Amino acid sequence: MSILSSLAEALVSARIEVVDLTAPLSAETPVIQLPEQFAQTARFELEELSRYDDRGPAWYWNNFRTGEHTGTHFDAPNHWVTGRDGDDVASVPAGRLIAPAVVLDFSEQAAADPDFLLEVEHVRAWEAEHGPLPEGGWLLFRTGWDARSASQQEFLNADDTGPHTPGLSVECARWLADESPVLGLGVETVGTDAGAAHSFDPPFPCHASLMGSGKYGLTQLQNLALLPPTGALLVAAPLPIVSGSGSPSRVLALVERG
């Protein structure tokens, strides 16, 4: 039996489970909120064209409007000024959209401290237990933040000082971009950076470092709790928007259940 035939048989027999890591996309989907002086992303909107009526008796369809970075989405290198000469989302090689993934679970720490930051030593300790990060794969940072995704207020968790959500330290972001073997970072929060990253030096280090190194981001993931620490295969499917900086994406994980 060929490799693809074996994979197909394992999917049909449920020996490989397909786990959907995508947040449902609707008008209630939380979106990032920038300071008032900056342009804001659009919330998701549907415009009904017809629904089995005089506008179209046999069909239902819609127009939709949304931001590139609304809901579960893919960040391409050209999303940030450090990657302005890098790939747009339509130019990301298709072979990089299917890759191994590991899950680093720091949900307990994030529950105790919403401003928790992942440090290089945390990753090194994880590697000591589970093995090295995958070459050309994804680091998925689990914080349990997907449990807040039904509420804009709880998801952004902002006060007078700004948002309070977990993320990576400046040093960890640089290390992930420049020294680690992974091609991208996946998170459950509204963006790859911590809520307080606007005040870091430099600000927004995940965006600056990852995009500047030609790497990618995945945000607003769900169901990371259903994945093992190692062994998952991740499929990210952004729309190939020409010159686009990102796209809402369906993100799936294949997990062997034995």
**Which spans in the chain are helix H?**
3-12, 107-112, 120-130, 152-156, 170-178, 205-212
Radius of gyration of the chain (CA): 19
209 in Cβ contact with 200 (< 8 Å): no
Catalytically active residues are 79
Task: State whether residue 22 is helix, strand or coil.
Answer: strand
Return the sign of the alpha-carbon dihedral for residues 169, 77, 23, 190: positive
Distance between CA atoms of 50 and 61, rounded to whole angstroms? Answer: 6
